[in-house]
């Protein structure tokens, strides 16, 4: 079974986890240890960051 390459860089994921306050869990348990809600909030934050980077942000 092949593993898909992640869209977010490892550095970006760590940055967002620190910002959202669950990086300690990642350090202790790995990414599989975070709650589904935290993962969802991480995706939302990454989308917000990407949308701000778009030229002519007419969303």
| Domain boundaries, given as residue ranges, for the chain | 10-53
23 close to 32: Cβ distance less than 8 angstroms: no
Distance of CA 38 to the CA centre of its chain: 9
Q: Which band of pLDDT confidence, cut at 50, 70 and 90, is reported for residue 58?
A: low
Residues 6+ apart with CB under 8 A from 25: 33, 34, 38
List, for residues 3-54, the tens digit of each pLDDT value: 667 788 999 999 999 999 999 999 999 999 999 999 999 999 999 999 998 8
Q: Rounded to two decimals, what is the model's pTM?
A: 0.77
């Amino acid at each position: 079974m092949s593993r898909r390459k992640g869209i977010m860089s490892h550095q970006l994921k760590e940055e967002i986890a620190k910002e959202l306050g669950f990086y300690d869990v990642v350090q202790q348990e790995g990414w599989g240890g975070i709650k589904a809600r935290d993962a969802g909030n991480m995706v939302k934050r990454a989308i917000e960051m990407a949308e701000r980077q778009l030229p002519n942000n007419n969303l």
